[in-house]
Homo-oligomer: A and B are copies of this chain.
Amino acid sequence: MPARLRLFRLHFDPPPRGDTVPASDTSSHPTLTSAPETVSAVTLARRPSGVPQVDDFELRTLDREPLAPGRVRVRVRDLSLDPYLISLLGEGHMGDSALPLGAVVPGRAVAEVVEVAGSIALAVGDLVVAETGWRSEAVLDAAAVTPVEAPEDLPASAALGVLGMPGLTAYAAHVRHLRPKVGDTVVVSAATGGVGSLAGALARLAGARTVAVVGSREKARVAVEEVGYDEAVVRTEDDWVEQLRAACPARVDGYLHMADQATLDGVLEQLAIGARVSLVGVIDQTLGAPPTRLRAGAVMGARATVHGMVVYDHHDLAAEHRTRVAALLRAGQVTLREHRFEGLEQAARAFHTLMTGANVGKVVVGVS
């Protein structure tokens, strides 16, 4: 790994005794070590109401699946947790149906091939990205796993973050929606997360003034000092709209939205003429929140263009995205920022952290 590669990994420390984080008691989730013939997995125990709690999930031991020709057994190394999952736990996502109670929670991971059956192009020891779900081991169709495309000099877990789907989301929003020019002002919400931190870096490298919208003072510090935003605005503070106005004296030319209604309302009022808005995520995907809506008058007044973003539409950019961002990682201009939790039994807590916005960077659970 070159010396200039900046890798921040924030490891999870268990809360001290007496800590009041809700439903964070891990004693009900004893750490299991997979016996050779069993697999650890986390299932949906209860449909979350509001912010998902640790108790909504259950760590279970399942029998190992037999291997059939054309399939591979993989051992999960790094499990990615992503916000879209919340809608699967409730009413379904993008037309998918909701996850049944008792089912293994879906998720994408970097995994190592440990057994292959039949004549396939993969070998034991290969690292792949696959939809393994929250489990220690998975059996999958060989066609459903993809060799890790992160360059070998970079950590494989980058394939889940800045070089994976969140990174492609940021890259596509940048090149297809926000398209900042030198001197533009680009505002990014969820600015220190997996998508936001890359979007901010790309806008800065394009010559834009970049402004982070974050949920805490600590994240504001990280946004400016570590990610490199010009300014950061704390959306939970009473005067945040004034902070935003002060941070964007020439108004807002590009806005990447992954936040709540109040944030959207506040930023839309500050749009410059001809502004571009990329709707990447909305907090109403949290169960129970009213649907996010955009004021049409603000869009018309700014003659803005609003793009609904779904990363699946932008896979044609994947190779360009990986090449360019890997080069930026090596040059130290983009940081691989991970908020790591160790052990599958920490996945539920990690998801709670993600969905309360307490993470700084891409949330990854180290499984084996």
> A305-B308, A306-B306 given as contacts; is B282 within 8 A of A300 (CB)?
yes
Q: Which of B94, B274, B292 contacts A296 (CB 8 A)?
A: B292
Please indicate the chain B residues that have their CB under 8 angstroms from the CB of A306 in the complex: 294, 299, 305-307
Residue A291 lies at the interface, judged by CB distance under 8 Å to chain B: yes
Please indicate the chain B residues that have their CB under 8 angstroms from the CB of A279 in the complex: 296, 299-300
Please indicate the chain B residues that have their CB under 8 angstroms from the CB of A274 in the complex: 313
Per-residue 0/1 for A272-302: is the Cβ within 8 Å of any B Cβ (1 yes, 0 no)?
0110000100101100000111111101111
Taking a contact as CB atoms under 8 Å apart, the answer to whether B303 and A310 are in contact is yes
Please indicate the chain B residues that have their CB under 8 angstroms from the CB of A308 in the complex: 296, 299-305
Residue A247 lies at the interface, judged by CB distance under 8 Å to chain B: no
Dominant secondary structure at the A interface: mixed
Residue A264 lies at the interface, judged by CB distance under 8 Å to chain B: yes
A276 to chain B, nearest CB (A): 10
Interface residues of A in 202-231 (CB under 8 A from B): none
> A303-B310, A307-B305 given as contacts; is B284 within 8 A of A291 (CB)?
no
Residue A309 lies at the interface, judged by CB distance under 8 Å to chain B: yes
Taking a contact as CB atoms under 8 Å apart, the answer to whether B301 and A296 are in contact is no
Distance between Cα atoms of A312 and B294 in the complex (Å)? 23
Taking a contact as CB atoms under 8 Å apart, the answer to whether B305 and A313 are in contact is no
Distance between Cα atoms of A297 and B273 in the complex (Å)? 24
Q: Which of B291, B300, B302, B307 contacts A295 (CB 8 A)?
A: B291
Please indicate which of the listed interface residues A299, A307, A313 has the most CB atoms of chain B within 10 Å of its own CB: A299
Taking a contact as CB atoms under 8 Å apart, the answer to whether B303 and A282 are in contact is no
Taking a contact as CB atoms under 8 Å apart, the answer to whether B307 and A264 are in contact is no
Taking a contact as CB atoms under 8 Å apart, the answer to whether A300 and B309 are in contact is yes
Binding site for B on A (CB under 8 A): 94, 257, 264, 273-274, 279, 282, 284-285, 291-297, 299-310, 313
CB<8 Å pairs between A and B, sample of 20? A94-B301, A279-B296, A279-B299, A282-B296, A282-B297, A282-B300, A284-B297, A291-B295, A292-B295, A292-B296, A293-B295, A299-B308, A300-B308, A301-B308, A302-B308, A303-B309, A303-B313, A305-B306, A305-B308, A306-B307
